[in-house]
Amino acid sequence: MTLPNQQVLSPKLYTRLFTTDHRIIGLQYLALALFSVTIGTLLSLVMRIHLVWPTWPLPLHGLILPEDYLAVVTLHGTIMLFFVLTTAPQAGFGNLILPSQLGARHMAFPVLNALSFWTTAAALITLLSSPLVPNGAAISGWTAYPPLSAVAAAGPGQGLGMDLWLVSISLFALASTASSINILTTIIRNRCPGLTWDRLPLTVWGWFTAALLSLIAFSVLLAALLLLFCDRHCGTGFFVPTGDLVNGVLHRGANGSPLLWLHLFWFFGHPEVYIAILPGMGLTSMLLANFSRRRPFAYRTMIYTTLLIGLLGLLVWGHHMFVSGLNPFASSAFSVSSIAIAIPATAKVLSWLATIWRAKPQYTTAMLFSLGFVSLFIAGGLTGPILAQPILDQYLNNTLFVVAHFHLIMAMAGVFGLFAATYYWFPQISAALGKPNLILSESLGRWHFWITILAAYAVFLPMHLSGLAGEPRHYAQLTTGSLTPTTALLARTIPANLHTTYSAFVLAAAQLLFFYNLVRTLLRGTPAPENPWQSTTLEWHPQFTNPFFPLPASDEETEKIIVYRDPCHYHAPPSGTIFIPQWMPDASIDPKPE
Amino acid sequence: MPATVTPNRVEPDRRHHLEDHDNGSGRRPPTDKRTGGGGDNDNWDRSRGNYGPRERLRRARMGVFFAIASDLMFFVAIVSTFFVNQSTGHINVYNQYVNDWTPTAVPRILWFNTLVLLISSLTMEMARRQMFREHDAMDEWLGLGKPITRRTIPWLIATIILGLAFLAGQWTAWRQLAAQHVFFRTNQSSHFFYLITGVHAVHLFLGIAILIAAFTGLYLSRQLETRQIIVDSASWYWHAMGLLWIFLFALLAFCQ
Ligand code: HEM
Ligand SMILES: [Cu+2]
């Protein structure tokens, strides 16, 4: 097996591209996510423009019809949720950082790892080709509710476009399952000597729980996709009710129920949102602690809350179905379990706040983004228990209120977690590219942070209000255009909508700063000192940060990394802050000056 | 020592494993030994770290275990759909609530098939056990040919043949149903019959591919550990598919 360093520095494009080195695979995942997030953002701008100026013709396309709008919503949601928020935190940073944090030199199954990446890439290509086929991309949303998704005649894009969507997501589910098998086995079996379970950094716990959830959830999604495929092509009717009239055609014989799809889909869908956020939660705990020079408050409890959130996440899927139809008893049960998630979630928030309380933290860009994560998580989390009450959800379901909820708590918080990770781990990214220890510009980073967080709130806070006013989600041309009772009703929301669209442009533009920062640093950055953030976790061990570190020819001879303590040990003698990395033997710590 | 440093709890647990015949005198024979790894093992002062033969095997087994677990969830989802679909009715044109589920009679040959699959699990287990005979492993280590491969091959071939027989039997069962005009799209029950048996057959087909890969691996690979890993992983997958079939068959035969 080739060792990481040889592959990084290998001149051959082929070996670099189809590598089994986890760091390069991590970078490949991150590049895929960066590409996807760019497309997803452009699509969201198209939606925002259309909502306030419905007569604006999309270049190369023309007027945006309602079905076009739906196709854009579907692509946006699918790309963002699967190809950005599932790949980047879990597979991207998971590959780049996780093995080093375990003191391991490889993932458990390197070839499987490469296969997972290339399957994910194939899934993305399949999805992106769907707008190009006759009748365009699928229009049934990232949740693909039947009968819209089950009957090809239900709308434009529900023929070939929908099939491509199905293929793409099936590939994605397979790849994610393989990748989580890899992550779980690596965490359980590849930890370096001394790294016991209670010494694992909280980031590892985040990846671990998210991988467990993917393992369970994605196979259920795969089964649901298979059933849907049979409904579309093999004459079954698992999800189509008898006597359903779709586009003038009566569907008889089948005896299925769209609600069955909802159950299967949301059994996957809710864990999926936790897969997106758990790695970010773990990172936030570690970063707040590192820059406050403290241990995360209630470290052990944070491990348990991570696992508890994962467990409860499997039991709450019904809260997406209060309105679509659920036995009232089931509604109550799901309502209780959903509100129960607020308990471990609140415990997390309290731990974050207690960790930074009066700690005089160092406000680096990574720290700022972590604080932004906390802020967004609270802002979005507050509406969770509101939506989790069936009575209130009756009114709010399918309005922009829900859109505001999940964009704050998942989309924005998730992206802030990714930004924090990028600023914090950039030396690792650059090391994997063969240029060790480059740091992104902090001053540009600060501008990036402040504009992003203000614009994010400016975009999503007003959506609560227009949602309360009754503005539905997934609808085009509601607030403007011809005068109908709805337009009259929603006329009040026009100012809020305009404000949202302008803010969305600011939000997107702020990301150009980030791109500029990335490119400039990679091209002309100057190396920082080793372990620039004075971190205590293993990925900053000199063996991992220096790509030119001479590695011996075989695994068995590599210099051993041994862990002696849990992460986040700092103490502040008069001479300044001292941090004690996990790998430093007790003997080499100078006695505490009393 | 600074107060923030937690006492090292791993160190005192160090032990020497004399029962592993490890006297520290160079390379040890490739038998089933504890070599450390997984972070919390207590013998991590050994030089081989995570890369001993036993660790590779345990890692592969764990991967297979997780893969099977996720596959199980896949079948759980399909079987739940079966029960939901079976118990729901609909309102007909006379405004009556009816449930017209008509069970699909399970072809007789499937009983025979089940037996074949059970036996194949036994032969597979025999193949697996041959891989771990310490005596033969020592022989190989001493350079006395490949006794392990020689002993395993017949059992592996038997498993492949039995697996193919199962698939042939499955094919016959579908043909018999088709002769009675029961097709995939005929009714709700037949959807599930074909779906469940079909998906399981695909898994077995994959299983046979894996067995053939193991077969070639036995010939090509010179490293005993690698051969052990291939056969071991293949056999756990095969056992899981056999066990799963028992449940699926019971579902189709008795729960319709
Ligand atoms: C305090 C904890 C939370 C509670 C009680 C909660 C509750 C809910 C409820 C009841 C809905 C359904 C609203 C409707 O469709 O009418 C919902 C939607 C959603 N939530 Fe949460 N939530 C919580 C945390 C989260 C977190 C942590 C995430 C993501 C990381 C998240 C992401 C989403 C998403 C993506 C949707 C919308 C799905 C869709 O319909 O497309 N939620 N939430
Ligand atoms: Cu949910």
Cβ neighbours, 10 Å, residue A394: 10
Interacting residues of B157 by C-beta distance below 8 A, sequence separation 6+: B215
Q: What is the pLDDT of residues A136-156, one digit of tens each?
A: 999 999 999 998 999 998 889
Q: Which ligand is nearest to the CA of A341?
A: 1
Q: Is A248 domain-assigned?
A: no
In chain B, which residue ranges form alpha helices assigned H by DSSP? 53-87, 109-131, 134-141, 147-179, 188-220, 224-254
Spell out which residues line ligand 1, taking CB within 6 angstroms.
Answer: A 143, 273, 276-277, 319-320, 338-339, 341-342, 345, 381, 384-385, 387-388, 393, 396-397, 402, 405-406, 409-410
Contact A458/A503 with Cβ under 8 angstroms? yes
Q: Is A6 domain-assigned?
A: no
| B38 contact A CB<8A | yes
* Of A160-174, A422-436, B52-66, highest mean pLDDT: A160-174
**pLDDT of the residue at A549:** 55
**pLDDT of the residue at A370:** 97
Contact A287/A339 with Cβ under 8 angstroms? no
Q: Is B25 domain-assigned?
A: no
Q: Is A307 domain-assigned?
A: yes
Question: In this complex, which of B49, B88, B195 lies closest to A560 when CB atoms are compared?
Answer: B49
For residue A577, what pLDDT band results from cuts at 50, 70 and 90? low
Do A556 and B58 lie within an 8 Å CB cutoff? no
Cα of B142 to nearest chain A Cα, Å: 22
Tell me how far apart the alpha carbons of residues A85 and A37 are, in angstroms, rounded to a whole number.
Answer: 9
Q: Is A251 domain-assigned?
A: no
Query: What's the number of domains chain B is made of?
Result: 1
Average pLDDT over residues A195-215: 95
**pLDDT of the residue at B39:** 52
Q: Is A484 domain-assigned?
A: yes
Tokens (6 digits) for A142: 């990232």
Q: Is B176 domain-assigned?
A: yes
**pLDDT of the residue at B5:** 39
Q: What is the CATH number of the domain that holds A493?
A: 1.20.210.10
**pLDDT > 70 fraction of chain A, expressed in percent and rounded:** 91
Closest-CA residue in chain A for B64?
A181
Mutate to test the pocket of ligand 1, among A387, A403, A407, A468 (most ligand atoms within 8 A of CB): A387
Rg (CA), chain A: 24
Domain around B237: 52-254
**pLDDT of the residue at A277:** 96
| B5 contact A CB<8A | yes
**Judging by beta carbons within 10 Å of its beta carbon (0-12, 13-18, 19+), is residue A9 exposed, middle or buried?**
exposed
Question: In this complex, which of B39, B48, B84 lies closest to A556 when CB atoms are compared?
Answer: B48
- Reduce the secondary structure of B160-183 to three states and give it as a string: HHHHHHHHHHHHHHHHHHHHCCCC
User: What predicted TM-score, i.e. pTM, was given to this entire model?
Assistant: 0.90
HSE value, Cβ hemisphere, 13 Å, CA-based, for A307 = 6
**Judging by beta carbons within 10 Å of its beta carbon (0-12, 13-18, 19+), is residue A532 exposed, middle or buried?**
middle
Q: Is B121 domain-assigned?
A: yes
**Judging by beta carbons within 10 Å of its beta carbon (0-12, 13-18, 19+), is residue B14 exposed, middle or buried?**
exposed
Contact A411/A80 with Cβ under 8 angstroms? yes
What would the DSSP string read from start to end of B116-135? Answer: HHHHHHHHHHHHHHHHT-HH
Contact A577/A293 with Cβ under 8 angstroms? yes
For residue A482, what pLDDT band results from cuts at 50, 70 and 90? low
Residue whose C-alpha is closest to residue A68's, from A137, A146, A17, A160:
A137
- B50 C-alpha to ligand 1 centroid (Å): 41
Q: Which residue has the tokens 């620039």?
A: A532
- For residue A252, give the H/E element and its range: none
Question: In this complex, which of B39, B47, B88 lies closest to A195 when CB atoms are compared?
Answer: B39
- A319 C-alpha to ligand 2 centroid (Å): 6
Residue A197, pLDDT > 60, answer yes
**pLDDT of the residue at A433:** 86
Q: Is B17 domain-assigned?
A: no
Q: What is the CATH number of the domain that holds B239?
A: 1.20.120.80
Tell me how far apart the alpha carbons of residues B178 and B194 are, in angstroms, rounded to a whole number.
Answer: 11
**pLDDT of the residue at A572:** 63
Mean pLDDT of chain A: 89
Q: Is A115 domain-assigned?
A: yes
Q: Which residue has the tokens 């609909």?
A: B90
Q: Which residue has the tokens 């004075």?
A: A534
Q: Tens place of pLDDT for every residue, chain B, 256 residues?
A: 333 433 343 333 333 344 444 433 334 444 444 444 455 443 444 444 455 667 889 999 999 999 999 999 999 999 999 999 998 888 888 888 888 888 899 999 999 999 999 999 999 999 999 888 888 888 887 877 788 888 899 999 999 999 999 999 999 999 999 999 999 988 889 999 999 999 999 999 999 999 999 999 998 888 888 899 999 999 999 999 999 999 999 999 998 8
Residue A382, pLDDT > 80, answer yes
| B39 contact A CB<8A | yes
| B37 contact A CB<8A | yes
Query: What's the number of domains chain A is made of?
Result: 1
**pLDDT of the residue at A40:** 97
Q: What is the pLDDT of residues A76-127, one digit of tens each?
A: 999 999 999 999 999 999 999 999 999 888 899 999 999 999 999 999 999 9
**Judging by beta carbons within 10 Å of its beta carbon (0-12, 13-18, 19+), is residue A180 exposed, middle or buried?**
buried
- A276 C-alpha to ligand 1 centroid (Å): 12
Q: Is A250 domain-assigned?
A: no
Q: Is B138 domain-assigned?
A: yes
Tell me how far apart the alpha carbons of residues A143 and A54 are, in angstroms, rounded to a whole number.
Answer: 25
Residue with the bigger pLDDT between A558 and A347: it is: A347
Q: Whose CA is nearest to atom 35 of ligand 1?
A: A406
**Judging by beta carbons within 10 Å of its beta carbon (0-12, 13-18, 19+), is residue A13 exposed, middle or buried?**
exposed
**pLDDT of the residue at A480:** 58
Cα of A506 to nearest chain B Cα, Å: 43
Tell me how far apart the alpha carbons of residues B163 and B207 are, in angstroms, rounded to a whole number.
Answer: 9
**pLDDT of the residue at B88:** 85
Q: Is A356 domain-assigned?
A: yes
Domain around A453: 19-243+257-588
Q: Is B178 domain-assigned?
A: yes
Direct distance between the N- and C-terminal alpha carbons of chain A, in angstroms, rounded to an integer: 50
Cβ neighbours, 10 Å, residue A421: 28
Average pLDDT over residues A46-57: 89
Q: What is the pLDDT of residues A5-36, one digit of tens each?
A: 444 455 567 777 788 889 999 999 999 999 99
Instruction: Give the number of beta-carbon pairs within 8 Å between A and B.
Output: 161
Cα of B140 to nearest chain A Cα, Å: 22
Mutate to test the pocket of ligand 1, among A273, A378, A386, A398 (most ligand atoms within 8 A of CB): A273
